[in-house]
């Protein structure tokens, strides 16, 4: 199972309810409210400060402050889209534009509604025993989650591994597709191999002794 951003909550809820169905899990820049881990606003300020060398940084400062105060305009939000990408180029701009028409603000507000993540303690209890490979991939520049919070998510899981992708933000497959594909592919291959080995009978199993 692979989940990105807010879908991380769904993946963790699913793993908490049906752990036997999870052989491997890849969490990419993923939320973890379902496991009781919140990503504080101060992390966004830390990430924003990392972009001070960008040519658009000074222009983005007032827009960022308005966003933190809940007063951002549509123009502010479009400018701040740049923070979701490790580099703002034609590919990033096209990707940002492609999501404009598909955003459902009403659904976004309803998604974390009352009671959605009230069972975090039970989810954490199951995750602490989850026998599955879990890759937690965070972008070095991502506003949310910051790498330190992603590390908390990985620490919940017995076989959790944190990878921080250098120079990446919230869409790491755009920032360095080769690194992203290699990292995720390796994790999935290891999970597949682990699953095959676990499915094989032990050497002293009767069927093997007969051969």
What does the domain layout of the chain look like in residue ranges? Answer: 1-211
Q: Which of 85, 80, 41, 43 is nearest to 64 (CA)?
A: 80
Which of 121-130, 184-193, 197-206 reaches the highest mean pLDDT? 121-130
Q: What is the DSSP secondary-structure string of 79-115?
A: HHGGGGSSS-SHHHHHHHHHTTTT--HHHHHHTT-TT
Pair 112, 13: CB distance under 8 Å? no
Under the banding of pLDDT at 50, 70 and 90, the label for residue 198 is low
Indicate whether 121 pLDDT > 70. Answer: yes
Say how far apart CA 107 and CA 104 lie, in whole Å: 5
* φ, ψ (nearest 5 deg) of residue 161: -130, 130
Residue 151, classed as helix, strand or coil, is helix
- CATH code given to domain 1-211: 3.40.50.1820
Pair 25, 1: CB distance under 8 Å? yes
The pLDDT mean for the chain works out to: 91
Say how far apart CA 80 and CA 65 lie, in whole Å: 11
Say how far apart CA 99 and CA 96 lie, in whole Å: 6
Residue 186: CB atoms within 10 Å: 12
Whole-model pTM: value is 0.88
Under the banding of pLDDT at 50, 70 and 90, the label for residue 205 is very low
Say how far apart CA 108 and CA 18 lie, in whole Å: 25
pLDDT reported for residue 64? 98
């Amino acid at each position: 199972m692979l989940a990105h951003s807010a879908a991380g909550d769904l993946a963790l809820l699913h793993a908490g309810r049906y752990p036997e169905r999870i052989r491997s899990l890849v969490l990419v820049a993923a939320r973890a409210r379902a496991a009781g881990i919140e990503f504080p606003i101060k992390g966004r300020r830390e990430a924003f400060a990392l972009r001070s060398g960008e040519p658009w940084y000074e222009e983005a400062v007032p827009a960022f402050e308005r966003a933190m105060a809940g007063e951002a305009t549509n123009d502010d939000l479009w400018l701040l889209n740049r923070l979701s990408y490790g580099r703002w180029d034609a590919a990033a701009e096209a990707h940002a534009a492609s999501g404009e028409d598909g955003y459902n603000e009403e659904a976004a507000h309803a998604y974390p509604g009352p009671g959605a993540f009230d069972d975090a303690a039970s989810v954490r209890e199951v995750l602490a025993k989850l026998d599955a490979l879990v890759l937690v991939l965070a972008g070095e520049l991502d506003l949310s989650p910051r790498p330190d919070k992603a590390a908390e998510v990985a620490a919940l899981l017995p076989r959790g591994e944190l990878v921080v992708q250098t120079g990446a933000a919230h869409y790491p497959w755009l920032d360095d597709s080769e690194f992203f594909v290699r990292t995720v592919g390796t994790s999935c291959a290891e999970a597949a191999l682990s699953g095959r080995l676990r499915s094989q009978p032990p050497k002293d199993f009767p069927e093997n002794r007969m051969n």
